[in-house]
Amino acid sequence: MASLDVSRGVCALVPGLQHWLENAFYMVRIVDAQSPRERDERRVLLATEIGHATHRDILINLIDGMPSLVPAANGLPARVAFGLEDMGFAFALIAELARPASVPAVGDAASARLMTLAGRVARSDATVLIQGDTGTGKEGMARFLHAQSGRISHDFIAVNCAALPETMMEAMLFGHKKGSFTGAANASDGLFLAADGGTLFLDEIAELPLPLQAKLLRALQEGEVLPVGATHPVPVNVRIIAACNRDLAAEVAAGRFREDLYWRLNVMPLELRPLVERAGDVTAIAAAMLLRHQDFVWPTVAALDKLAAHVWPGNARELGNVLQRAIVLRDGDRIDADDLHIVGAPQLRVVGAAPAPTEPVRLRDVAHQSKLEAVRAALRETDGHRAAAARKLGISERTLRYRLAEMRELAAA
């Protein structure tokens, strides 16, 4: 968990910031602006407290009018100015400005709890299995686990098993001797040995063919690999993090994945929920993505409402595409709701008690829209806790999972 100091003046001016930062996986410490500090500490201070600031700090100013961000430069701290209307996104922006590069962007209480669990898992040397839909951040989680582990001084090697040529999978993973097959003009260590002492991230693990699964199982059990064409195994010290966007237990039941390998990988399971179930993360991820662009653009409240209402069948990847298009195609100085060209799902905004569609409804009927909004509201109110949300809706947790899957399918239709 990242730590961040916040001045008493900031807490008095914007008391909601501490709560947002805690949901964003920060350990917040309230300090006096002038109190002594460690060399690398970062603080959030009022603009009027600039005399106590370093270039690492973030200065905030509550204003009337257009929000602004001035990045840190020339030895001066970053400055964020915003009004009451833009306070929600400003909080997310402050969190992302201070976030270490190895920590994924989160703004949802349930996601912060998952990150806390992941931090504990990282400190062990156990094999980890990360499951979640495409675009939910599996590689980001794997990099976080490596960064928080005792292997940080060694390499993190990521490989997408689905992208490996089937005829070369074994040689690429375990290495090969010179002349061991046609075209092997030189020997190669392979990815396991490349990650020796560090972490090997095997994404899309379900794509490995069954014969290679058996060899992977032996490598995990014995701590050694047998390069193609070799007669003696080579010891290797690697932590394995595997990921899959399919239900690996179902793959085992269907006979497409070895049961013994499944249990060898599933020592420390982590499940990443779809973005539709992580309402607070949408704003955090949007802030992180917008900060990566050279010319930062503030979204309006209407734009954020539209982002919050979408189902996100493509998860963070879809969100990134939507924001990229909005930056290029926007009409004004800010990203407004009309600049967000979201394809495939209705957008609902609540006016009073009745939901009003802001775009033509293309799904089966209004009942599906109401169902979606009810499920989203229940998940928001329970911080994404499925069992609690199901109880609130008066349905079983299994039915809730079915509804979420149905909505993602409808959104992609």
Q: Residue 258 is part of a domain; what is its CATH number?
A: 3.40.50.300
What confidence score (pLDDT) does residue 354 get? 42
Which of 215, 248, 272 is the endpoint of a domain?
272
What confidence score (pLDDT) does residue 174 get? 86
232 pLDDT tier (thresholds 50, 70, 90): confident
Q: Which amino acid is at 61?
A: N
What confidence score (pLDDT) does residue 94 get? 96
pLDDT at 112 over 70: yes
Which of 222, 241, 272 is the endpoint of a domain?
272
203 and 248 housed in the same domain? yes
127 and 259 housed in the same domain? yes
Q: Which amino acid is at 330?
A: R
45 and 127 housed in the same domain? no
What confidence score (pLDDT) does residue 243 get? 95
Q: 222 or 180: whose pLDDT is higher?
A: 222
Average pLDDT over residues 381-390: 71
Structure token pair of residue 47: 């603009």
203 pLDDT tier (thresholds 50, 70, 90): very high
190 pLDDT tier (thresholds 50, 70, 90): confident
Global pTM reads 0.79
Q: Are strands 78-82 and 234-235 parallel, antiparallel or unpaired?
A: unpaired
What confidence score (pLDDT) does residue 233 get? 83
Which of 223, 250, 272 is the endpoint of a domain?
272
For 5-56, the pLDDT digits (tens) are 999 999 999 999 999 999 999 999 999 999 998 888 899 999 999 999 999 9
What confidence score (pLDDT) does residue 400 get? 73
pLDDT at 375 over 80: no
164 and 263 housed in the same domain? yes
Nearest to 140 by CA among 85, 94, 93, 99: 99
**Whether 406 contacts 367, CB under 8 Å:** no
Phi first, then psi: what are they for 124, rounded to 5°? -85, 180
371 and 387 housed in the same domain? yes
138 and 212 housed in the same domain? yes
Nearest to 188 by CA among 217, 229, 224, 159: 229
133 and 223 housed in the same domain? yes
363 pLDDT tier (thresholds 50, 70, 90): very low
Enclosing domain of residue 403: 344-412
Rg of the chain over CA atoms, in angstroms?
Answer: 24
Distance of CA 259 to CAs 10, 218, 252, 386, Å? 54, 14, 6, 28
311 and 396 housed in the same domain? no
258 and 113 housed in the same domain? yes
For 283-325, the pLDDT digits (tens) are 999 999 999 988 899 999 999 999 999 999 999 999 999 999 9
For 91-108, the pLDDT digits (tens) are 999 999 999 988 999 999
114 and 233 housed in the same domain? yes
264 pLDDT tier (thresholds 50, 70, 90): very high
Q: How many domains does the chain have?
A: 3
92 and 11 housed in the same domain? yes
363 and 392 housed in the same domain? yes
What confidence score (pLDDT) does residue 344 get? 58
Q: 175 or 368: whose pLDDT is higher?
A: 175
